[in-house]
């Protein structure tokens, strides 16, 4: 009993610990409610008060002004640190960002590039820099965006006052669904920008002066989050009764499911922070011109102090003798723990790498025809719609080619489908070699292909088509058994006519030209005016 008493952590709370939330009470902060309700803070010797946020109140600024010791903030906290302000990131709750652009489904906005020419509402704070960072990453001039400060009223999107509204994946989509308003989301994460969100930050000076209390508060908060994620039904009902009675049970459940998917507790340890990812986030602020230089973030990312209590050497000779006696055991144990810790760190690093690789693979699979490696039909149609809008807006030429391999069925019937697949893949490679870097080739279906040619006149388009046709006709298509085939193709060309064409009409004229080429004997190019 004496030894246990000596080893108990000396954690005392001289004053109340105020935790400032970044928004109104909701499931987004469930872990802190549960840490308080389940007594985790009390067991750690801490008296904690949770303060809700509100529009116009920055949790980060409340902390820096001394009105709270801890706060739930966004990745903008690293910017404050780089500006020399006393802030430390204690833990990250959301590993995947919930920030999204919301647009109405009846709009013609599908991509980030479409957003660049649209009316945007954005809360113009450092914490929302993620929405701007994605434009910078895509090479879009931020100064030319049609940005207005957000009213934080979803009615602006519904009424058409704005084309796009910055929202939270766990909140505004539910409200739109309840109103029966179809919508689309454009996520920065889909363009490779994924800031940490809902970061537990602390006053760096206080954390340095009270290391045990800070460590105890962090652990109790993470324990609360674990309880909340393991007991969603209980947590939802508790929040509804005690914190957010204005929110329905259904809304809180919707929010809980989205938040859990962003925390990713089955893949990443609660609170985990990757230093390299933080450096990338800081570099994004530098690219936006918010800071001039990025320095190391060692003092920004919290590291729990190794407990060292020299009073143990004074209080008990018995403890000293025990330490000496068990020194060998502790040394062996330390080595095993260090090895296990290194293995766990390697596992987390590998998990993050696998997540990045899997996201890249999914994006590639979603846009690519597996057999030929060309853009698939869905994506090239989307791109064609975007090029038509651009050609119409800026009065640019635009041509499309529809291509069909002649007598392709005979290849399959005579040599087999494996040979047919080989011919399709080689044909696709010839198309890629013959077109400009600015052109886009895709597989339209079966043996039919589609080439999109922006900013090209009719004469040049015909020359390009003829060059491709002759290249195909002269190319020996090699089969797996060494045999060679001669294959030809027919090509239909159509130029975009402003004020007359939409995508369907343009594709119809190209297809009619292709039919004409087939009717005239194949292995030729035809133009449909």
Active-site positions? Answer: 447
The separation between CA 417 and the C-alpha centre of its own chain, rounded to angstroms, equals: 39
State the CB neighbour count (10 A cutoff) for residue 183: 21
Beta-strand relationship, 398-405 and 183-186: unpaired
What are the residue ranges of helices labelled H in 368-457? 377-394, 408-415, 417-434
Backbone angles phi, psi at 112, to 5 degrees: -60, -35
Bridge partners of 461, per DSSP, are: none
Q: CA separation (Å) from 119 to 162, 169, 353, 386?
A: 5, 20, 36, 18
Enter the tokens of residue 497: 């006519």
Q: How many helices (H) and strands (E) does the chain have?
A: 22, 17
Report the alpha-carbon distance of residue 207 to residue 202 in Å, rounded: 7
Please report where in the chains the tokens 């936006």 appear, as a residue. Answer: 288
User: Which helix (H) or strand (E) is 91 found in, with range?
Assistant: strand 87-94
Please report where in the chains the tokens 């320095």 appear, as a residue. Answer: 295
The separation between CA 150 and the C-alpha centre of its own chain, rounded to angstroms, equals: 22
Fill in the DSSP letter of residue 193.
Answer: -
Q: CA separation (Å) from 465 to 451, 468, 474, 516, 524?
A: 10, 5, 14, 15, 9
């Amino acid at each position: 009993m004496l030894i246990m008493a000596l080893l108990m952590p000396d954690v005392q709370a001289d004053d109340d610990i105020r935790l400032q939330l970044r928004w109104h009470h909701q499931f987004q902060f469930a872990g802190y409610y549960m840490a308080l309700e389940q007594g985790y803070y009390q067991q750690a010797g801490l008296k904690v008060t949770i303060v809700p946020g509100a529009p116009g109140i920055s949790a980060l600024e409340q902390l820096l002004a001394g009105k709270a010791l801890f706060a739930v903030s966004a990745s903008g906290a690293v910017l404050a640190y780089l500006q020399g302000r006393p802030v430390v990131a204690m833990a990250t709750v959301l590993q995947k960002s919930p920030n999204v652009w919301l647009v109405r489904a009846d709009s013609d906005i599908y991509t980030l590039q479409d957003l660049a020419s649209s009316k945007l509402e954005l809360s113009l704070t450092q914490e929302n820099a993620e929405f701007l960072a994605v434009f910078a990453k895509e090479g879009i001039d931020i100064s030319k965006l049609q940005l207005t400060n957000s009213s934080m009223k979803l009615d602006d999107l519904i009424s058409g006052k704005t084309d796009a509204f910055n929202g939270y994946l766990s909140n505004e989509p539910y409200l739109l669904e309840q109103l029966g308003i179809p919508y689309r989301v454009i996520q920065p994460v889909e363009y490779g920008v994924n800031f940490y969100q809902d970061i537990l930050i602390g006053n760096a000076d206080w954390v340095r002066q009270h290391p045990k209390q800070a460590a105890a508060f962090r652990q109790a908060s993470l324990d609360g989050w674990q309880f909340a994620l393991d007991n969603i039904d209980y947590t939802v009902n508790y929040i509804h009764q005690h914190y957010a009675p204005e929110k329905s049970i259904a809304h809180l459940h919707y929010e809980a499911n989205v938040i859990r998917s962003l925390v990713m507790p089955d893949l990443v340890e609660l609170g985990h922070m990757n230093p390299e990812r933080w450096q990338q986030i800081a570099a994004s602020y530098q690219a936006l011109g918010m800071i001039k230089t990025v320095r190391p973030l060692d003092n920004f990312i919290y590291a729990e102090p190794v407990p060292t209590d020299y009073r143990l050497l004074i209080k008990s000779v018995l403890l000293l003798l025990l330490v000496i006696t068990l020194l060998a055991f502790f040394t062996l144990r330390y080595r095993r723990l260090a090895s296990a810790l290194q293995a766990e760190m390697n596992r987390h690093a590998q998990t993050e790498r696998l997540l990045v690789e899997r996201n890249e693979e999914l994006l590639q699979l979603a846009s690519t025809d597996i057999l030929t490696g060309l853009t698939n039909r869905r994506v090239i149609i989307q791109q064609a719609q975007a090029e038509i809008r651009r050609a119409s807006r800026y009065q640019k030429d635009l041509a499309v080619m529809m291509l069909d391999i002649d007598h392709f069925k005979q290849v399959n019937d005579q040599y087999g489908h494996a040979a047919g697949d080989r011919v399709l893949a080689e044909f696709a490679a010839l198309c890629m070699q013959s077109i400009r870097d600015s052109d886009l080739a895709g597989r339209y279906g079966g043996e039919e292909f589609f080439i999109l040619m922006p900013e090209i006149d009719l004469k040049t388009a015909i020359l390009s088509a003829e060059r491709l046709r002759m290249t195909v006709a002269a190319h020996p298509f090699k089969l797996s058994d060494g045999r060679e085939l001669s294959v030809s193709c027919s090509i239909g060309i159509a130029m975009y006519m402003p004020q007359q064409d939409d995508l369907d009409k343009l594709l119809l004229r190209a297809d009619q030209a292709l039919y004409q080429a087939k009717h005239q004997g194949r292995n030729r190019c035809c133009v449909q005016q």
